[in-house]
Amino acid sequence: MRHLLSIESLSPADMKQILSDTAVLKRERGHHPRQPLAGQIWAMIFSKASTRTRVSFEVGIRELGGQVIFLPASEIQLGRGEPIKDTARVLGRMVHGAVFRTFAQADVEEFARYANIPTINALTDEEHPCQILADVFTVQERLGPIPGKTVTFIGDGACNVVNSWVFAAAKLGFELRIAAPKKFQPSSDLLKRAGGRVSCTEDLLEASRGADVLYTDVWVSMGKEAESASRLEQLKGYQLNSTLLKLAKPHALVMHCLPAYRGKEIDEETFEAHAATIFDQAENRLHAQKAVLQWLVG
């Protein structure tokens, strides 16, 4: 049985397959010759807020012929303490697949083990695999094959989105530079597990020089709200703005997984000047996740 639990556990071959299917599904939108989810009902269990992931999965599952039940964790017994493994065994007997957004990566993995149905990680504290598949697709759509390109991440370099970028770098053969204060850089254990050409620095000017892509994410990820004031203070120099953009390649992309906080991780002017890329990136969540769904059900 296939799952999408992390970029770490996804093989390069499967990743490339999903990326090439994404292009086909994007082209064919509105007239798909196959309905791989026909007759299926999928559950979406979300313990955190979501706009893009929720809507793109709800639309994508329906467009592939399936139906969907949205289950906010706070409205099912999971939110009152029913164990993941019991929730998983119940849902596994009733639905055909699950999309799960939560805190601990171990919870998504436990769910997949007990539910025995294809399970997708829709974001945990450790990874956001669906985001990175759509992001790599967006880079390739605009700049051509990603191998050999340089992606620079600026901001909270220890968040879920960065972790998934780190694992993608070795699998797809691009250079990843992370510009973040020491405390917000990925752990050496994670860097060792991932391998590949990944460097970390506090020098955001040097990291931006000659980059093909400048990428950022929020300074305060979901679940870190209690650290909000200290994060804003510590990360305030790490903004994606025109100073950095001038150092990147002339046609460098500016990307953001969204939601964006203007004046924090990115300035208004840079965001709006690159809105076409950023909202293509958001739209591509739909196409990439449809490719994931199709890959899961074979």
- Write the CA distances from 35 to 38, 67, 98, 105, integer angstroms: 5, 12, 18, 30
Q: State yes or no: residue 221 binds ligand CP (CB under 6 A).
A: no
Give the nearest distance from C-beta 161 to ligand CP in angstroms: 8
Q: State yes or no: residue 67 binds ligand CP (CB under 6 A).
A: no
Residue whose entry in the numeric block shows the structure tokens 């597990």: 193
Annotate each residue in 110-129 with x if it binds ligand CP (CB under 6 A) or - if it does not, as one string.
Answer: -------------x------
Nearer to ligand CP, 35 or 51 (CB): 51
Q: State yes or no: residue 201 binds ligand CP (CB under 6 A).
A: no
Looking at this protein, which amino acid is placed at residue 279?
Answer: F
218 makes contact, choosing from ligand CP, ligand NVA, none, with CB < 5 to 8 Å by partner type, with ligand NVA
In the region spanning residues 115 to 134, those forming contacts with ligand NVA, defined by CB under 6 A, are 123
Q: Check if 35 is active-site.
A: no
Q: Check if 131 is active-site.
A: yes
Q: State yes or no: residue 53 binds ligand CP (CB under 6 A).
A: yes
Neighbour-count burial of 38, counting CB atoms closer than 10 A to its CB (0-12 exposed, 13-18 middle, 19+ buried): exposed
Contact 297, 37 (CB under 8 A): yes
| Rounded Cα gap, residues 18 and 296, in angstroms | 10
In the region spanning residues 39 to 98, those forming contacts with ligand NVA, defined by CB under 6 A, are none
Q: Check if 77 is active-site.
A: no
| Cα R_g (the chain), whole angstroms | 19
| Residue selected from 41, 59, 258, 297 as contacting ligand CP according to rule CB under 6 A | 258
| Residue selected from 9, 17, 50, 199 as contacting ligand CP according to rule CB under 6 A | 50
Q: State yes or no: residue 138 binds ligand CP (CB under 6 A).
A: no
Q: State yes or no: residue 52 binds ligand CP (CB under 6 A).
A: yes
11-17, long-range: CB < 8 A, 24+ apart: 11/171, 12/171, 12/172, 14/295, 15/133, 15/136, 15/168, 15/171, 15/172, 16/172, 17/295
Q: Check if 128 is active-site.
A: yes
Residues 6+ apart with CB under 8 A from 233: none
Say which of 40, 131, 281, 294 is annotated catalytic.
Answer: 131
Residue whose entry in the numeric block shows the structure tokens 């436990």: 110
Q: Check if 257 is active-site.
A: yes
The contact set with ligand CP (CB under 6 A) reads 50-53, 123, 131, 257-258
